[in-house]
């Protein structure tokens, strides 16, 4: 069973449908109690980091996420903003994150010839062995939409990197904590395979 957290800032329906296409049972929760009861948790998100953290704190969801991930060691997958919220801090609103992965969120600098936000299809390069990458290839393309990127402080947490002007961390994994900057639910067969791999953790 996958629990998807609805905190009002995510395209959770497309994430839900992607898991259902894989035959994975899904439930949606908006409450701390639903988070704490999760067997596997997905944190999707689209929008502003500081606003996202404000919503999580106001609803008591921040403490519930920390409890279920740290105390219960429940696997969590953060997608796009959801990945960024798992970090320590973001330049977007100069806000503190959940602090589950030692990383910061940085703003893309203007690079000649490249548009910000980074929007469209790009490849990922695997940085370490992980079941999350099973059945995937570095020639696979994934769909990105973001103006900020994650920088891991501990290189051992880097799962994927992507080149867009400069190299940035497009995925991390710290034990049972996984985050991806791209949208697997919009990335066709490779994205579905990644979600299947997470469901099998």
Residues taking part in catalysis: 80, 183, 185
Paired with 4 in beta bridges are 28, 42
CA 83 – CA 158 distance, rounded (Å): 13
CA 72 – CA 134 distance, rounded (Å): 25
Which of 197, 192, 109 is closest to 149 using CA atoms?
Answer: 109
Which of 88, 107, 93 is closest to 52 using CA atoms?
Answer: 93
CA 188 – CA 64 distance, rounded (Å): 31
Q: How far is CA 60 from the centre of its chain?
A: 20
Report helix, strand and coil shares of the chain as percent, to nearest 5. Answer: 30, 30, 35
Sequence-distant (6+) residues with CB within 8 A of 165 are 108, 109, 111, 114
Q: How far is CA 85 from the centre of its chain?
A: 8
DSSP single-letter state for residue 94: T
């Amino acid at each position: 069973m996958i629990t998807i957290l609805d905190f009002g800032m995510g395209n959770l329906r497309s994430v839900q449908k992607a898991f259902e296409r894989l035959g994975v049972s899904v439930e949606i929760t908006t409450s701390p109690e639903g988070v704490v009861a999760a067997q596997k948790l997905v944190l999707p998100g689209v929008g502003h980091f500081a606003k996202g953290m404000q919503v999580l704190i106001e609803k008591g969801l921040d403490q519930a996420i920390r409890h279920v991930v740290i105390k219960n060691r429940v696997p969590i997958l953060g997608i796009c903003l959801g990945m960024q919220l798992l970090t320590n801090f973001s330049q977007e609103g100069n806000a503190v994150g959940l602090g589950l992965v030692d990383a910061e969120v940085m703003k893309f600098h203007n690079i000649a010839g490249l548009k910000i936000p980074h929007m469209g299809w790009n490849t990922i390069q695997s940085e370490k062995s992980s079941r999350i990458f099973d059945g995937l290839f570095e020639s696979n393309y994934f769909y990105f939409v973001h103006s900020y990127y994650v920088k891991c402080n501990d290189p051992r947490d880097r799962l994927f990197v992507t080149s867009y002007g400069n190299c940035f961390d497009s995925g991390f994994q710290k034990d049972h904590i996984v985050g991806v900057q791209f949208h697997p639910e919009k990335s066709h067969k490779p994205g579905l395979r990644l979600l299947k791999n997470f469901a099998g953790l």
